[in-house]
Structure 1
Amino acid sequence: MAFNAPSLKGRALRLLGQREHSRAELERKLGPHEAEPGELARALDDLQAKGFINEQRVLESVVFRRAPRLGAMRVRQELQAKGLAPEAISQAVADLQATEVERARDVWRRKFGAPAEDPPTRAKHMRFLAGRGFGAEAIRKVVKGAWDDDGI
């Protein structure tokens, strides 16, 4: 009994069933499985025409999943890695920057919960938030306690 490898469309649907993928991601992942030139492009064109591949859904999915834990810079990198349109990425990042301080505060609060007692600890807090992709101004406001003084 011979084993038939799944078609490119089948492979793409399996990947799309796991999570949203951009066309560029699918091209990168499925390229090695293409038997004849143009076969992959035709399969992806068909899936895109049927609404299985939707760049806006990919963008919204990444922002929804990653923004609560990451800063705008890190989300931008992830969106760029997915090969999404630069204009869409810029708009999503601009929207995220409006809530950057609040999101950084939430991440900081979950990780540390209390203000730093000394400069080395404060530096550790700042490095943590920077590693998560938050901007310098948001990090300063959160770590130094520049937001409302009602408490953390």
Structure 2
Amino acid sequence: MIRSATAVWNGTGRDGRGTLSTQSGVLDNTAYSFHTRFEDGKGTNPEELVAAAHAGCFTMALAFALQSANLTPTELKTTCAVTLDKDGAGFKISKSALTLTATVPGVTQEKFGEIAAGAKAGCPISKLLTAEISLDWTLAG
């Protein structure tokens, strides 16, 4: 399976503007710029997309892991916050923090923790990142 996205940029780094489009069409010439990345401009940025990808990947991996353990979640809600730090002349994503709230009937805290840790380690986006990855979770009901 291969998935693709395209970035187009016009102008300088600080004053230029770009668009991002994905193969699926979910992003279709979606704006991004210096302002959307380092300030609060309207549009997206690479770090926001990495956070969305990591939250989605981990949550789906967890759903499959729970299914393998014969458990059916009522809801899994994950927020991911990536940290962009200065790195020499450039920048790097140094952390990806996953915060999960889960409702999974019939599972113990201990078993859920084991399954969630496995999903965190096993999701393809976790394997891609060289950043520190943390997981804080709350199991409701």
User: RCO greater where, 1 or 2, for CA within 8 Å and sep 6 or more?
Assistant: 1
TM-score by length of structure 1 reads 0.31
**Structure whose alpha-carbon radius of gyration is higher:** 1
The answer to which structure has the higher helix fraction is: 1
